[in-house]
Structure 1
Amino acid sequence: MKLQLRFFASLREGLGLSEEWVNLPADVKTIAQLRHHLTQRGGAWAEVLASDKVIRCALNQRMVKESIALEEGAEVAFFPPVTGG
């Protein structure tokens, strides 16, 4: 499956890129599995996307839970939590 990944704010800074296209193995079917797959790259990937970090996700510009199924050609965006006041 081929996806476009986008990273915002501190995630973008930590990874040193704002977007990329990836080809995923067949066993990566959800955003949670995608996130785990990306942490396996090691280094900054393991640190920035670690499972203990709170990260928001969007699939095709809709905020979703990590349990949502991925779709061929989809855009998956990762955001740090946002605070305001």
Structure 2
Amino acid sequence: MPITVVFLGKLADLAGTPEKEVEAPLDWEGLLDELQGPLGDAAMADRTRVAVNGELLADKTALSAQDGDEVALLPPVSGG
């Protein structure tokens, strides 16, 4: 069962899709390998957050996802 990577906000625009399936297991370096160009750059930005199965990671480089997990990339939230 693959891992589902969900892109929210402007990250979905950069990805051209709201989600992508990738093979498990997945760590931070593996995720960056999957996200090329501007999308990868946006994922690396300090203010972009990562959640695994709905729980925000304090350190996104500690990402460790397994079969069936959902990894969400959350861009910075702007208010108004």
**TM-score under structure 2 normalisation?**
0.75
What residue is the counterpart of 1:59 in the other structure? 52
CA 1:52–1:23: 2 relative to 1, 3 Å: closer
Deviation at 1:83, TM superposition (A): 3.2
Unaligned segments of structure 1, at least 5 residues: 40-44
Q: What is the alpha-carbon root mean square deviation over aligned residues? A: 2.2
Task: Tell me which protein shows more helix as a share of its residues.
Answer: 2
* Offset at residue 29 of structure 1 (A): 4.1
Where does residue 30 of structure 2 map in the other structure?
34
Calculate percent identity across the aligned residue pairs.
Answer: 24
TM-score, scaled to structure 1: 0.72
Q: Structure 1 residue 33: deviation in Å?
A: 1.6
What do residues 2-23 of structure 1 show as CA deviations (whole Å, max 9, x unaligned)? 2011000000011110012122
